[in-house]
Chain A
Amino acid sequence: MTSILEVVDVSVRYGVGCERCAPADGPARCPVCGSVWACRGLSFDVDSGDVMGIVGESGSGKSTALACANLDLVPLSGRVRLLGEDVTGIGGARRRELRAEALGIVCQTPAQGLDLDLTAGGNVVSRMLAAGARGYEALRRRASELVQATELPLERMDAVTSTFSGGMQQRVQVARALATRPPILLLDEPTSGLDVSVQVRLLDLLRRIQLETQVAMLVVSHDLGVIRMLADRLLVMRQGRIVERGLTDQLLNDPRHPYTQLLVSSQLS
């Protein structure tokens, strides 16, 4: 088992902070200085082949956790390690390399993760180009492989991405994320805004890809149904903290923390 992602005691704060901020079980927003602690003391790791879910409602800090993993945010304290390398606060060329080769991300909305004015194939190869690939034929081959693997119609590979439906655009994101064969895929509410039948197809695709390639995944969602489909292990976050963690089916069957019990009982279906 190789360690892919390690998040160690990470805290992210918006605002200046003060001595009274962030007591062990205080609120996420400091009543004295107004700083918001987006996450506090976050620790978890993802090894090769793991699928880790993070569930929580708005303001839970789950998206912040993902942003730290994606090197989008520099934590106030704590460390983030990728494949054993300390990447906390990293910038510049190394960050770009890692984001092109070691991390794949599927953003909540296609507009965030794609350039909708490019062709689908262009979006798919963009990270390969960022990683230094320079053979046109090789790029085309890999792009068609991925387009097919994500069940997109091959004949639309050269169509402009803005002409695709939302569900198809999400598939383009998946293809793009997988293009450089990263060891870990980060998924931020991957099914948000999609019709239910489209959601199911996308989740099915992600599940199959995970089974076939054994890529590690970190899935953030407010929807326990999504988590249940994809994740073996789960973190429950509230107000910036992990309140409970365990195997997904264990947390769903035997939630212990009051908040987890509330979440599980609130699920429709």
Chain B
Amino acid sequence: MLRVIDLRKRYVRHLLGGRVEEVLRGVDLEVDAGECLVVTGPSGSGKSTLLRCIYRQALPDSGSILLGPPGDSIDLAAASEREVLERRRTTVGLVTQFLDVVPRVGAADLVAQAGCSAQEARRLLDRVGLPGDLHDVPPATFSGGQRQLLNLARALARPRPLLLLDEATASLDPSRRHAVLRMLEEKKHAGTALLAVFHDVPTAAGVVDRVVTMREGRIAA
């Protein structure tokens, strides 16, 4: 479902006098449908940047990001803006800790705008565990954990074959975390490919199939 080949990315900080930070120095990985690959590693190892590049929130300098089953895939690293937007709509979801706050729009509406009916949106919010009285509240005042749940619901609004998860449970309390991992496991069994970044790899069996560690911009052997 996803093949990353020799992905490289550096940041050039012009405001810091042109300082160069090599963040990804040739990353290779593969995730199949129905598989969950976890990427872990110390801070600064490039885990988040990797996910961002796949989602095109950051532009890689070289390498390929092949999305789709072999034979019918598109290279996200070279795809046009419109193609990427289309894939975000239908194929790839991203769950991060951060939430771009849209003022005045309630949680349920935000989920619905991500691609499902108003009813479905509320069902999803219930499933991820967002309390009912927050469904119509704009998330500006949500806690970190609540925002994460909202992000998750948004990513799940449409069935997307690939989900990218960046510390998707970091701000959740243990019972919530457990429930979310269960949900992800279900998705996995239904065929979704999961690429998840975790600082602390969840030990719950059933969710995680493989773990790789990143160090200084590369997958450590």
Interface residues on B, range: 20 to 34
In the complex, chain B residues 1-58 whose Cβ is within 8 Å of any chain A Cβ: 11-15, 52, 56-58
Does chain B have a CB within 8 A of A111?
A: no
Q: Are A250 and B59 in contact (CB under 8 A)?
A: yes
Q: Chain A nearest CB: distance from B92 CB in Å? A: 13
- Residue on A nearest B11 in the bound complex, by CB: A254
Q: Are A207 and B59 in contact (CB under 8 A)?
A: no
Does chain B have a CB within 8 A of A9?
A: no
The CA of A203 and the CA of B100, in the complex, are separated in Å by: 15
- With a cutoff of 8 Å between Cβ atoms, the chain B residues found around residue A256 in the complex are 12, 59
The CA of A201 and the CA of B102, in the complex, are separated in Å by: 11
Q: Are B104 and A249 in contact (CB under 8 A)?
A: no
The CA of A250 and the CA of B82, in the complex, are separated in Å by: 13
A204-B104, A228-B100, A253-B52 known; A261-B13 Cβ under 8 A: yes
Does chain B have a CB within 8 A of A6?
A: no
A253-B58, A254-B58 known; A262-B15 Cβ under 8 A: yes
In the complex, chain A residues 37-62 whose Cβ is within 8 Å of any chain B Cβ: 47, 50
- With a cutoff of 8 Å between Cβ atoms, the chain A residues found around residue B15 in the complex are 258, 261-262, 265
Q: Are B104 and A247 in contact (CB under 8 A)?
A: no
- With a cutoff of 8 Å between Cβ atoms, the chain B residues found around residue A247 in the complex are 56-57, 81, 84-85
Does chain A have a CB within 8 A of B113?
A: yes
Secondary structure of the A side of the interface? helix
- With a cutoff of 8 Å between Cβ atoms, the chain A residues found around residue B71 in the complex are none
0 or 1 for each of A185-206: is its CB under 8 Å from B? (1 = yes) = 0000000000000001101100
- With a cutoff of 8 Å between Cβ atoms, the chain B residues found around residue A50 in the complex are 82
Q: Are A207 and B14 in contact (CB under 8 A)?
A: no
Q: Chain B nearest CB: distance from A99 CB in Å? A: 27
Does chain B have a CB within 8 A of A233?
A: yes
The CA of A126 and the CA of B11, in the complex, are separated in Å by: 51
A261-B15, A262-B15 known; A229-B56 Cβ under 8 A: no
Q: Are B14 and A250 in contact (CB under 8 A)?
A: no
In the complex, chain B residues 63-93 whose Cβ is within 8 Å of any chain A Cβ: 81-82, 84-85
Q: Are B56 and A250 in contact (CB under 8 A)?
A: yes
Does chain A have a CB within 8 A of B103?
A: yes
- With a cutoff of 8 Å between Cβ atoms, the chain A residues found around residue B13 in the complex are 261
The CA of A254 and the CA of B60, in the complex, are separated in Å by: 10
Q: Chain A nearest CB: distance from B184 CB in Å? A: 23
A247-B81, A265-B15 known; A201-B59 Cβ under 8 A: no
- With a cutoff of 8 Å between Cβ atoms, the chain B residues found around residue A200 in the complex are 103-104
The CA of A47 and the CA of B85, in the complex, are separated in Å by: 13
> Given A249, A261, A262, which contacts B57 in the complex, CB threshold below 8 Å?
A249
